[in-house]
Every structure is written in structure tokens, then in C-alpha cells.
Amino acid sequence: MTAMGHDDHTLPPSSLALRIKAIETLMVEKGKIDPGAVTEIVDIFQNKLGPRIGARVVARAWSDSAFKKRLLADGTGALKEMGIGGLQGEAMHILENTSAVHNVIVCTLCSCYPWTVLGLPPSWYKSAAYRSRIVIEPRAVLAEFGLQISEDCEVRVYDSNAEIRYMVLPERPTGTDGWTEEQLEALVTRDSMIGVSVLTDVVVG
């Protein structure tokens, strides 16, 4: 089975993906765009700009208990408070990770993903291996990401669809008492909001 950290090639690219790739190739060949620039732009949306929106939401929830309560009760409404709206009007559900429950998200039928808060989906999220195995053997898949979940912690897998998107609210790392929202935001990763990683506690002193 393909490791989760690598691309899965069992499914052919969609017609839209093929068209986009063809346009990109043509633009590069004609010298209209620099291939390095394309890679950098994708990296910005996949790992920097997109996930930072979700990180800002997480930091607010960690810092404001009233907002956190609203976020968990009505994700869509709480996000709108921050000026964040669903691209397709989908309902957003926020899943809180605790010491007793670890949540992870997937879309088994396609690749539905909370673009609004996490930006572009990683390639492995769309792979057939991840979409099938995370439901059947979540602990084994999480272990391939380097995440060992203790046996006394329940693992819950949430399946997104065209109408509903999920985002994980990771546990706040210890050692961050008194931190500003900006400091907390810098700790949050995309993978922690998908549920395939946890955040490292901060060593004080």
C-alpha cells in the first residue's frame, strides 16, 4: 500500500485537472510563466495562505471560550463572525480533539475539503489509499503519519460530502498560557486541522 505521505496514482486525473495542466504546460512553453513561480504559488495556497485562515480560527477558539462554544455549536455561524464564508455555502462542522477523543477527516467518495479554512488540499488527502484506509484502519494510517494514538483514546473518522465540511480543532499545546492569538496561530498546522497530526507541547524555561 502506498505510504500516506506520498502521492497515490491509482486514479486518473480528472478532466479539469488535465485541462489545467495542459494550459500550464502551454504557458510555460511560450515563456508566459515561470514553472518555478507556479510551484511557489501552489505552495503559498497549499501550505501558507489557506491554512493560516484556519489557524486564526483555532487561535481565537483557544483564546476566547465564548467563541469556542459558538464555534463548536455552529461552525458556519462562528466562521461568519470572522468574515469567513463557505465557497459553496456548505455547512462547516468543527470537531474538538481532546485527550479522550481524536478526530480525523476524510472524503471517501471524492475529495470534499474545507477549502475556506485550509486552502488547497494536500495530494495524499485525495488519494484512493487515504480515502479508503483511514475509515477501515485509522490508527494504522495515523501511525504512518508518525502519530501514535493511545488505546484509551477513541478515534473518530468524519466523512465530508458536498454539503458538509469538517475541520478539526486541535488540542491546545501545554506551555502556552498567556500567549497572544498571533503567537498561538503560528503553532497551528494544516495537518493538525485535518487530524493526522497533533501539536507539540511548548517547553517552558
- How is the chain classified by DSSP, letter by letter? ---TTS---SSPPPHHHHHHHHHHHHHHHTTSS-HHHHHHHHHIIIIIIHHHHHHHHHHHHHH-HHHHHHHHH-HHHHHHHTT---TT--EEEEEE--SSEEEEEE-SSS----HHHH-SPPHHHHSHHHHHHHHH-HHHHHHHTT-PPPTTSEEEEEE--SSEEEEEEPPPPTT-TT--HHHHHTT--HHHHHTS--PPPPPP-
Query: Amino acid identity of 27?
Result: M
- 149-164 core/surface letters (b: 16 or more CB in 10 A; e: else): eeeeeeeebbebeeeb
The residues assigned a catalytic role are: 107, 110-112
Residue 8 lies in a domain: no
Residue 202 lies in a domain: no
d(CA 51, CA 30): 33
Residue 174 lies in a domain: yes
Residue 3 lies in a domain: no
Which pLDDT belongs to residue 15?
59
What is the residue range of 95's domain? Answer: 15-194
Residue 184 lies in a domain: yes
d(CA 29, CA 184): 43
Residue 204 lies in a domain: no
Residue 182 lies in a domain: yes
CATH assignment of the domain containing 114:
3.90.330.10
Mean pLDDT by groups of 10 residues along the chain of 205 residues: 46 56 72 68 60 95 98 96 72 96 94 84 92 96 97 96 92 97 96 97 81
Which pLDDT belongs to residue 2?
43
Which pLDDT belongs to residue 1?
39
Residue 85 lies in a domain: yes
d(CA 134, CA 104): 9
Total number of domains constituting the chain: 1
Which pLDDT belongs to residue 21?
67
Which pLDDT belongs to residue 7?
43
